[in-house]
């Protein structure tokens, strides 16, 4: 399970910045990081299902194509750097 409840987070951080029809990678990834970095430790711990739960809600609220963030967001070898 996931100790963080992702159901009622403020997804407008992402949905206001990352929009169709082209879903620009720079805007979508920056907004994704802004939303997700506070939960980085939880998300990186793959023994819980926080990451998949979070992405389900992000895709639901933003009507995003499946796989959008995983396919568009690339940075260094450790992953996406948080501020």
The site for another protein (CB under 8 A) is made up of 15, 19-22, 24, 27, 33, 36-37, 40-41, 43-44, 46, 49, 51-52, 54-55, 58-59, 62-71, 73, 76, 78-82
In the complex, the smallest distance separating the C-beta of residue 80 from another protein, rounded to whole angstroms, is: 4
In the complex, the smallest distance separating the C-beta of residue 8 from another protein, rounded to whole angstroms, is: 19
Q: State CA 58 to chain mean position distance.
A: 7
- For residue 14, count CB atoms less than 10 angstroms from its CB and return exposed for 0-12, middle for 13-18, buried for 19 or more: buried
In the complex, the smallest distance separating the C-beta of residue 75 from another protein, rounded to whole angstroms, is: 8
* Residue linked to tokens 């299902």: 49
Name every residue whose Cβ is closer than 8 Å to that of residue 55 and which is 6 or more positions away in sequence.
Answer: 69
Nearer to another protein, 13 or 51 (CB): 51
């Amino acid at each position: 399970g996931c100790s963080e409840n992702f159901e009622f987070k403020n997804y407008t951080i992402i949905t206001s910045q990352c929009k169709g029809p082209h879903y620009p990678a720079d805007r979508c990834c920056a907004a994704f990081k802004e939303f997700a970095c506070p939960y980085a430790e939880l998300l990186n711990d793959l023994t819980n299902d926080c990451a998949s739960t979070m992405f389900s809600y992000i895709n639901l609220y933003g009507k995003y194509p499946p796989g959008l963030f995983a396919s568009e967001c690339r940075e260094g070898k450790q992953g996406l750097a948080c501020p």
